[in-house]
Each structure stands twice: as C-alpha cells, then as structure tokens.
C-alpha cells in the first residue's frame, strides 16, 4: 500500500510520458531512502492526475509525494499553470496548525486525508475551521470566546458546538465571556443584597 511521505506539495517537471503513466523529475531535493531509485525520478500514474488531464513532457506539475514497494510516486498531481485561483491560500491554509484536539490522518483505503477530533471521536473530510479565526477574533460580530473555549462543528447533528480544552466540557450553547459572567454574577449578588432587609438599615 501507499505511505504518505509528506503532506507538503512538491513541484516537478514531466520528463517522460507514456500511455497511462509517466515520470517526473522533482524540482527540489527529496531526502528519502527511495529518492535515488528510478534515477531520482518520481512515478506518476494517469489516475493520479487531478481531473484526468492529459500531461505532456516538459509540463510543470505539483503533487503529494507517497512511497510504495516500487519506490516514490506522485499523488493528486496537477499542472502548475492550471492550478485554480486561490490555490496558494488553500495550500497556505494546509500549513496552518489545526485547532486543538484535531489530527490530520491519511486514509490508505481512500488515498486522501481526513481529520479526526480525538475528544469527540468524530471524523470529517473537511478541514476544521481555525479556532482563532472562527471564534476568538469575533469576526462573526459576536464577542470573542472565553479562555479555553473553541468552536467546532458536529457532522452528525450538522450544527456547531463549543468545547473547552481546559475543562474538557462541551456545550451546544455559546459560552459568554468571563467578564460577562462576572458582571452577571455581581449583578445577582447586588440584587440579593438589596433584598436583604439588614442591608437596608
């Protein structure tokens, strides 16, 4: 089976293309025990070309590097010139750290990544939203989440929930900020004190 070498995309140039497969010369140094097999070239199967596009010798591509019993291979290859607009930011997003509790896992069966949330034991194909951008920045017009709280999405119920990485507590309700809770607590205390006849004397 295939083993992912790195989730970072590698660039290369198609040096040879035959019926249904070809070879790529990497444009950067690959440090791997199998790198010198096949004269340093990387195998590419037509089925691993995104969208089934036809490649020609001299075409620059980028790809995900994997290894198998035969050596190094290219997965999810795409012509660099045909990379869709916004591919750069997407790739940059791939390099961002995942929210707390999430892990990126390679599926041998589907030959693609999925994301696993260890605290809730849920999996998703979609990259989870960055907690910093999702909650703490207040971009959605709401106050930033209190310390330790993160916003996540429940695939089963198709709605967001909130998880506290410090206390391991989860909630469907958006938690208020500590300042709001403190203010509410002070208000309740004042009301209770105001209702006490001894305080009025």
Cα–Cα dist 115/105, whole Å = 6
Contact indicator for 180, 143 with CB cutoff of 8 Å: yes
Statement to judge: residues 64 and 127 lie in one domain? no
The DSSP bridge pattern shows strands 71-79 and 170-171 to be unpaired
Which residues span the domain enclosing 55? 3-83
pLDDT value of residue 74: 96
Residue of 26, 27, 82 lying closest to 49 (CA atoms):
82
Does residue 192 sit within a domain?
no
Residues 39, 104 share a domain: no
Query: End of a domain among 37, 57, 83?
Result: 83
Q: What is the pLDDT of residues 65-92, one digit of tens each?
A: 999 998 999 999 999 864 444 444 445 5
Question: Is 152 found in the same domain as 79?
Answer: no
Closest CA to 56 of 82, 22, 99, 84: 22
Q: Is residue 76 part of a domain?
A: yes
Q: How far apart, in Å, are the Cα atoms of 122 and each of 43, 101, 118, 128, 154?
A: 34, 11, 7, 11, 8
Question: Distances in Å between the alpha carbon of 104 and those of 11, 86, 109, 122, 171?
Answer: 22, 22, 15, 12, 24
Tell me: do 79 and 120 sit in the same domain: no
Q: Are 85 and 36 in contact (CB under 8 A)?
A: no
Domain total in the chain: 2
Question: What is the structure's pLDDT at 142?
Answer: 59
Q: Extract the residue ranges of the chain whose pLDDT is less than 50.
A: 82-90, 131-141, 178-181, 183-184, 187-198, 200-201
Strands (E), 100-197: 102-107, 112-117, 122-124, 149-154, 159-164, 170-171
Query: Which pLDDT score, from 0 to 100, does residue 94 have?
Result: 58
Considering the domain architecture, whether residues 104 and 31 belong to the same structural domain is answered as no
How high is the pLDDT of residue 155?
76
Whether residue 89 is contained in a domain is answered as no
Nearest to 77 by CA among 54, 94, 57: 54
What is the pLDDT at residue 61? 95
What is the per-residue pLDDT for 39?
Answer: 85
User: Are 103 and 61 found together in one domain?
Assistant: no
What integer pLDDT is reported at residue 171 of this predicted model? Answer: 86
CATH number at residue 30: 2.40.50.140
Q: Would you call 51 helix, strand, or coil by DSSP?
A: helix
Q: Report yes or no on 105 lying in a domain.
A: yes
């Amino acid at each position: 089976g295939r083993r992912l070498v790195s989730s970072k995309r590698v660039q290369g140039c198609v040096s040879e293309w035959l019926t249904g497969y070809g070879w790529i010369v990497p444009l950067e140094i690959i440090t791997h025990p199998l790198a010198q097999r096949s004269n340093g070239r990387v195998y590419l199967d037509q089925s691993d070309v995104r969208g089934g596009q036809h490649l020609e010798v001299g075409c620059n591509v980028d790809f995900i590097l994997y290894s198998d019993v035969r050596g190094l291979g290219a997965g999810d290859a795409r012509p660099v010139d045909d990379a869709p607009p916004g591919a750069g930011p997407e790739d940059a997003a791939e390099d961002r750290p995942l929210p707390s509790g999430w892990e990126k896992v390679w599926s041998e069966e589907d030959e693609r990544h999925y994301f696993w949330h260890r605290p809730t034991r849920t999996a998703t194909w979609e990259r989870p939203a960055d907690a910093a951008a999702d909650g703490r920045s207040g971009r959605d017009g709401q106050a930033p989440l209190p310390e330790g709280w993160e916003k996540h999405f429940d695939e089963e119920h198709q709605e967001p929930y909130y998880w506290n990485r410090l206390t391991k507590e989860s909630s469907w309700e958006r938690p208020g900020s500590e300042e709001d809770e403190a203010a509410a607590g002070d208000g309740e205390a004042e009301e209770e004190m105001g209702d006490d006849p001894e305080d009025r004397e």
